[in-house]
C-alpha cells in the first residue's frame, strides 16, 4: 500500500522498514527519485529499477523526492558525478541516486545501485544476480541497438555482472525508441512543468514540446511498430512455462530492468492503450508487470 507525508520535494518523503532486515532500520538507505504529481509512486524507468531492486533485496530505505530542475544541483551537492552525457558531450545529471548513511557512499546509476545492494546485503532478500542462473534472455539484442539517442545509453562495460548491464542497455534502447508515445503524459510538477517541458524539448533538439505529441494515424503506426519491436524481448519470457519471470517462478535483476519500463508505461499510457499493451505477445509483459508490482514495488 502506498503512503507518504506531504513535504518539500527535496526533503525525505517517507519510510519503509522491511521485516527481514533489522541491522539498518534506524539508519535506512536513501533513494533519490524524481518528484511528480503521482508520488509516492515512481514513474521514470531508472528510478523504478532501483526501487524494485531495493524492495527485492528487502533493504530498509526512504525516499528523497527531487524536482527535475533541481537534480543537477542535488547530485553536485552530494559529490555524485554524472554517469551519462548528452550527444553534445555535456553532462546529463539524472536520477536515481542511492546514499548509504552508514558508509557515506553515494551511487548514481541504477545498475551500479543493484550491484551495490547485492554486494552490501548478500544475505537479504532475493539474489539479483543468481550464480545458478540459466541466463535466459541475457543475450537479447534490441532491434534499435544502433539508434542514436540525444542522451546516449550507458553501457557499464567492465562492470560486475556485465551480462546484465548489456541486457539493460538493449532493453533501454527498445523502450527509449518508443517513449514518445508517453512523453506528453509525464507527470511533471505543475509549478515547474513549463520550464521542464522547455528543457526536455531543448535536450531533444526540438523546436517545441508539442513536437513530441503523436496522435491519429501516426500514433497507431508507432504503437504497431512498438509491438513488433518487442517480439524478440517477449520470446525469452515464454521459455519457462511457470513464468512470469525469465527463469520461471524466481525473478532476478533482468526482470526488474524490464519492470522499470513497464511501471512507466502503466502510469503514462492512456488507460485503454495500457490494457491493450498488457495483452501483447501472449500477455507476458502484463503478467510480469503485475507480479513485480505485487511482490516488489514499494510506493513511499
Evaluate whether residue 22 is within a structural domain: no
Read off the pLDDT band of 25 (50, 70, 90).
Answer: low
Number of compact structural domains in the chain = 1
Burial status of residue 281 (CB atoms within 10 A of its CB: 0-12, 13-18, 19 or more): middle
The grid coordinates listed for 293 are 508490482
Tens-digit pLDDT profile for residues 208-223: 999 889 999 999 999 9
Q: Return the DSSP state at 59.
A: -
The grid coordinates listed for 162 are 556485465
Tens-digit pLDDT profile for residues 57-82: 999 999 999 999 999 999 999 999 99
What is the Cα–Cα distance from 11 to 191, expressed in whole angstroms? 17
Evaluate whether residue 14 is within a structural domain: no
Evaluate whether residue 17 is within a structural domain: no
Read off the pLDDT band of 158 (50, 70, 90).
Answer: confident
What's the mean pLDDT in 141-169? 93
Evaluate whether residue 15 is within a structural domain: no
Percent of the chain predicted with pLDDT > 90: 85
Q: Return the DSSP state at 269.
A: S
Is residue 135 pLDDT above 70, yes or no? yes
Q: Model pTM greater than 0.85?
A: yes
Q: Is the peptide bond before 222 cis (omega within 30 degrees of 0)?
A: no
Evaluate whether residue 11 is within a structural domain: no
Evaluate whether residue 247 is within a structural domain: yes
What mean pLDDT value characterizes the chain? Answer: 91
Evaluate whether residue 64 is within a structural domain: yes
Sign of the C-alpha dihedral, residues 12, 261, 95, 210? Answer: negative
Task: Please state, as a whole number, how many other Cβ atoms lie within 10 Å of the Cβ of residue 17.
Answer: 13
Residues spanned by the domain of 47: 29-127+134-296
Look at the block and give the residue holding cell 527535496: 10
| DSSP bridge partners of 245 | 248
The CATH number linked to 243 is 3.40.30.10
What's the mean pLDDT in 138-149? 96
What is the Cα–Cα distance from 18 to 8, expressed in whole angstroms? 25
Evaluate whether residue 143 is within a structural domain: yes
| Closest by CA position to 169, among listed 46, 43, 50 | 46
Give residues with Cβ within 8 angstroms of 101, minimum separation 6: 27, 28, 29, 30
Amino acid at each position: 500500500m502506498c503512503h507518504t507525508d506531504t513535504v518539500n520535494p527535496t526533503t525525505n518523503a517517507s519510510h519503509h522498514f522491511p521485516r527481514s532486515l533489522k541491522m539498518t532500520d534506524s539508519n535506512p538507505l536513501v533513494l533519490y527519485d524524481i518528484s511528480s504529481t503521482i508520488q509516492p509512486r515512481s514513474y521514470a524507468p531508472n528510478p523504478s529499477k532501483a526501487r524494485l531492486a531495493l524492495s527485492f533485496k528487502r533493504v530498509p530505505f526512504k525516499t528523497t523526492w527531487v524536482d527535475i530542475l533541481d537534480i543537477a544541483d542535488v547530485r553536485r551537492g552530494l559529490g555524485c558525478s554524472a554517469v551519462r552525457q548528452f550527444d553534445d558531450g555535456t553532462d546529463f545529471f539524472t536520477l536515481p541516486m542511492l546514499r548509504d548513511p552508514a558508509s557515506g557512499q553515494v551511487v548514481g546509476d541504477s545498475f551500479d545501485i543493484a550491484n551495490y545492494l547485492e554486494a552490501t546485503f548478500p544475505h537479504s532478500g532475493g539474489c539479483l544476480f543468481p550464480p545458478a542462473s540459466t541466463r535466459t534472455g541475457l543475450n537479447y539484442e534490441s532491434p534499435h541497438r544502433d539508434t542514436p539517442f540525444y542522451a546516449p545509453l550507458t553501457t557499464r562495460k567492465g562492470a560486475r555482472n556485465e551480462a546484465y548491464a548489456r541486457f539493460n542497455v538493449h532493453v533501454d534502447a527498445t523502450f527509449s525508441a518508443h517513449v514518445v508515445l508517453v512523453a506528453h503524459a509525464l507527470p511533471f510538477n505543475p509549478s515547474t512543468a513549463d520550464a521542464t517541458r522547455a528543457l526536455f524539448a531543448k535536450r531533444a533538439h526540438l523546436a517545441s514540446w508539442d513536437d513530441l505529441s503523436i496522435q491519429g494515424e501516426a500514433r497507431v503506426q508507432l504503437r504497431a511498430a512498438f509491438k513488433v519491436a518487442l517480439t524478440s524481448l517477449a520470446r525469452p519470457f515464454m521459455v519457462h512455462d511457470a513464468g512470469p519471470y525469465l527463469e520461471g517462478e524466481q525473478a532476478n535483476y533482468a526482470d526488474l530492468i524490464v519492470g522499470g519500463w513497464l511501471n512507466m508505461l502503466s502510469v503514462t499510457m492512456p488507460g485503454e492503450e495500457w490494457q491493450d499493451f498488457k495483452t501483447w505477445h501472449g500477455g507476458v509483459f502484463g503478467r510480469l508487470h503485475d507480479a513485480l508490482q505485487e511482490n516488489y514495488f514499494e510506493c513511499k
